[in-house]
Amino acid sequence: MAKTKELSKDTRNKIVDLHQAGKTESAIGKQLGLKKSTVGAIIRKWKTYKTTDNLPRSGAPRKISPRGVKMITRTVSKNPRTTRGDLVNDLQRAGTKVTKPTISNTLRRQGLKSCSARRVPLLKPVHVQARLKFARVHLDDPEEDWENVIWSDETKI
């Protein structure tokens, strides 16, 4: 079973204090509402490292600096149609060499999900003629009449 969360520093210190006071792991677990194995792991860690702080975890450091992440996020927020290739080139100019999947992972971590732009069907000649006819009929209408119109969309013909 995977770890679900880390205990707070106060809780870990409380476990160590109770252990030093002579309480057993099971008694500490019952008192704090934790599993005996959790209490035991914290006590073992304290005996080994003399600390209850979070130790540094293994893994490679991030390729993109926090400043680079902000730049990417800002660029995509301003222009959502920016491609991953464009972002890779921007970072390369800034001195960081990354791949497209790295860009995707970074944006996903920032809460920006990818999606494809909706393909709007092209107008058929019949629709073009109908729109032109409508425009010509209402060409001389006063401006006050147009203020009451609710426009549903705009399309380039």
Per the structure, the complete domain to which residue 26 belongs is given by: 9-49
In a domain, 71, yes or no: yes
Domain total for the chain?
2
| Phi and psi, residue 30, nearest 5° | -65, -40
Give the per-residue pLDDT at 156.
Answer: 58
Residue 100 lies in a domain: yes
What pLDDT does residue 111 have?
93
Please indicate, yes or no, if residue 88 is contained in any of the structural domains.
yes
Does some domain include residue 101?
A: yes
Looking at residue 75, its pLDDT comes to 94
pTM of the model: 0.47
List average pLDDT for each run of 10 residues in the chain, which is 157 residues long: 75 94 94 93 93 86 93 93 93 93 94 83 90 90 83 65
User: What does the pLDDT read at residue 46?
Assistant: 93
Does 45 lie in the same domain as 20? Answer: yes
